[in-house]
Amino acid sequence: MAIVGAGRLAEGIAVRTLAGGHKLRLTDSEQGKAEALAASLAARTGPDAGGAPLEVTVAGTAEAIAGTDVIVLALPYPEGRQVARDQGAALSGMTLVDTCNPVDFSTFDCLLTSPGMSAAEEIAEINPAARVVKAFNTTFAAALMAGQVCGLPVDVFLAGDDPDAKDKVAALVRDGGMRPIDTGPLRRARELEAFQLLHMTLQGPLGLDWSSMIKLLPLLRFRGILIPNGQWRLFPPGPPVPDGAGRLAISPRLRPRSPQPPQAPRVPAPGVPSVIRKTFRTCSGAGRIAAARARAVAAPGTRLRW
């Protein structure tokens, strides 16, 4: 994958891409920024930090995009269109991911695109030979860097007219531990961009500090068992399973932050499975926090019903 633009969103996408075991090329109008991001990725997730070897190359735009499978435009709204125009035939047949939110940042009150149009469709019009996919515009960089929210995988909404290009992006998203959601043709980017404008305007009123995520959750009840690696295995397996992998990771960060009275660990009596029961109407944040609390006191193998 090549990421054009080495800013905040690029960092989040890069972290998830490397977590998925993919090679990465970075480019920015300021080479120093791309180099600084490569160094910070290496320090955070590379072999010195106990991670797998990283394959991050810093290059100019033309070199970075040559021969890659997927090119991500992590650029402000006007620059994405400019790169799509400047790179012309080099983008022909390439999967080109548009991440931008064409928000009028002077007012935070509207989009700069004309009604019935999206930034992604503008890029597709400028470079019709590129296979444009809208993705990552509803995921704040903080959510990508965390990799999950409330123990659930990050939802990445996709829109595009080319099924193969969408499949490629979906595979990258999945490899990075997130859940791709295909919203339909590229014109759905209009709703995705408007959706994120709304998400942004709610940051202040809800005190979210750009650390929230748009996620779709079904109303359901499910049961899970805490397995020794600290994850939940749902049973019965299969739907409804939000991450498609048969398990939900519970973030240790969800453990209660306020000081808690010490609790003796629950040790199941031999041969008698210990069961913690809790029933919730939804997979809500409250449910997740309660589950994380339960995890904090439950021994591996404890059955949980909630």
Ligand X SMILES: NC(=O)c1ccc[n+]([C@@H]2O[C@H](COP(=O)([O-])OP(=O)(O)OC[C@H]3O[C@@H](n4cnc5c(N)ncnc54)[C@H](OP(=O)(O)O)[C@@H]3O)[C@@H](O)[C@H]2O)c1
**Nearer to ligand X (CB atom), residue 10 or residue 170:** 10
Of 49-57, 107-115, 138-146, 257-265: span binding ligand X (CB under 6 A): 138-146
Is residue 157 a contact residue for ligand X (CB under 6 A)? no
9 binds ligand X (CB under 6 A): yes
In the complex, minimum distance from the CB of residue 262 to ligand X, in angstroms, rounded to a whole number: 39
Q: Where are the beta strands (DSSP E) in the chain?
A: 2-4, 24-27, 56-58, 70-73, 95-98, 131-134, 148-149, 152-153, 155-160, 179-182, 223-226, 231-235, 247-249, 275-277, 303-305
Residue closest to ligand X when measured from CB atoms? 7
Residue 232 makes contact with ligand X by CB under 6 A: no
User: Of 51-59, 79-87, 153-161, 268-276, which segment contacts ligand X by CB under 6 A?
Assistant: 79-87
Q: CA-CA distance, 245 to 132, in Å (whole number)?
A: 28
Residue 8 in contact with ligand X, rule: CB under 6 A = yes
- Compute φ and ψ for 160, nearest 5 degrees: 180, 160
Among candidate residues 200, 189, 192, 188, the one with its CA nearest the CA of residue 109: 200
Which range touches ligand X (CB under 6 A), out of 96-104, 226-234, 243-251, 283-291? 96-104
- H or E element at residue 285: helix 285-297
Q: Which is nearer to ligand X, 139 or 148 (CB)?
A: 139
- What CA–CA distance (Å, rounded) separates 9 from 17? 12
Our finding on whether 141 is near ligand X (CB under 6 A) is yes
4 or 38: CB nearest ligand X: 4
Which CB, 143 or 248, lies closer to ligand X? 143
- Cβ within 8 Å of residue 305, ≥6 positions away: 223, 275, 276, 277, 278, 279
140 binds ligand X (CB under 6 A): yes
Q: Which residue has the tokens 């939110």?
A: 101
- The dihedrals phi and psi of 124, each to the nearest 5 degrees, come to -65, -35
Nearer to ligand X, 87 or 95 (CB): 87
CA atoms within 13 A of residue 212's CA, in its CB half-sphere:
17
Nearer Cβ to ligand X, position 17 or 302? Answer: 17
99 interacts with ligand X by CB under 6 A: yes
Q: For 290, list phi and psi in degrees, rounded to 5.
A: -60, -40
Nearer of residues 30 and 164 to ligand X, judged by Cβ:
30
Which pair of structure tokens corresponds to residue 204? Answer: 């202040």
- Indicate which single residue of 1, 6, 178, 304 sits in contact with ligand X (rule: CB under 6 A): 6
User: Which residues of this chain interact with ligand X, rule CB under 6 A?
Assistant: 4-10, 27-30, 33, 61, 74-77, 79, 82-83, 99-101, 136-137, 139-141
